[in-house]
Structure 1
């Protein structure tokens, strides 16, 4: 019985890492940066809300793909995620990958980004912006298996979750700075 509870705990940790719930600790309350004024106003990085949302979705899908690849490899080589996330997010995600390695768990399949909505975006400097979105993730096509290839996921798991994601854009560099479960209204279809 102790092995089962360890496996279930490890599966829960891995599932949280897969969905980004482990990043909740790095999310502060939603903030609205002050708008630049007068001569401090910079040229916007995005021409429209639609362009900002499209860039955020592209960045988050890359984050999901790299995270899934690491977890499909049992948590090996987590440094692949490093260029895509802030230092704090990297430390939190690395802990989840380490838990997968220690527990002998790996991901089969991947999570899917079903829907995204722009909350807001703002210019934060010259050729830089912060984009905050709500995303709906589905783990219906993802499974977590142990070393024997047996699923450790319970049948009653939540399969669609909403997250608030903050992405920093500076010129051509993009960093996920937060991805936290959203407790408000779901954006999931």
Structure 2
């Protein structure tokens, strides 16, 4: 079933302006799987525990979501801060979605929050870190409005939106969202 344009824009806004050209999800992925550390047993661990890795992910993604909502609350006009919290495809998607919001004369009003459904993978080596998790964006408190201030959100919109998110960087304090892909199978956020 196609996603209506207003609903796509709402999803874009909450996901730090999710781009409308989404890449596919792996059919083999299972949102209930546990983290699979892949760092060498000989190397000193980057994270002392799974909780430390999850905490680093939460901090990175939380900053990303906040910056994304700031951009969309401003109508997509100022995207400068996104490069501090996003890189790669996620940054490109955010910039594209912000451009589309501006072109459509739309902006968001409110806030979004998130929860981590589960961590799929932690890949930490001496020179790079990548953490992949299944995330639920909660957009109940985020409205999409037009130039006149009228809400354009569909009454039946999904407000708990599932994503696969990858944060990456060279050091735990330097993690940025590198990829954010809408989960198009069963919504694990509603389970």
TM-score (structure 1 length as normaliser): 0.81
Structure 1, gaps ≥5 residues long: 1-7
Matched, 1:137 2:107: no
Structure-to-structure mapping, 1:108-147, within 5 angstroms: 108-123=109-124, 125-147=125-147
The verdict on how the C-alpha distance between 1:23 and 1:87 changes in structure 2, with shifts beyond 3 A counting, is: farther
Distance, in Å, in 1 between the alignment partners of 2:20 and 2:53 is: 22
Structure-to-structure mapping, 1:9-158, within 5 angstroms: 9=5, 11-20=6-15, 21-22=18-19, 25-26=22-23, 29=26, 35-37=38-40, 41-123=42-124, 125-158=125-158
2:119–2:132 CA contact under 8 A, matched in 1: yes
* Deviation at residue 61 of structure 1 after TM alignment: 0.9
1:45–1:127 CA contact under 8 A, matched in 2: no
Q: Which has the higher helix share?
A: 1
* Deviation at residue 169 of structure 1 after TM alignment: 3.2
Distance, in Å, in 1 between the alignment partners of 2:96 and 2:102 is: 10
* Deviation at residue 114 of structure 1 after TM alignment: 3.6
Distance, in Å, in 2 between the alignment partners of 1:101 and 1:136 is: 26
Structure 2, gaps ≥5 residues long: 30-34
Q: CA RMSD in A?
A: 2.6
The verdict on how the C-alpha distance between 1:166 and 1:184 changes in structure 2, with shifts beyond 3 A counting, is: farther
TM-score (structure 2 length as normaliser): 0.80
Distance, in Å, in 2 between the alignment partners of 1:98 and 1:24 is: 13
Which runs of at least 4 in structure 1 moved beyond 3 Å after TM superposition?
Answer: 23-30, 32-38
Distance, in Å, in 1 between the alignment partners of 2:73 and 2:97 is: 13
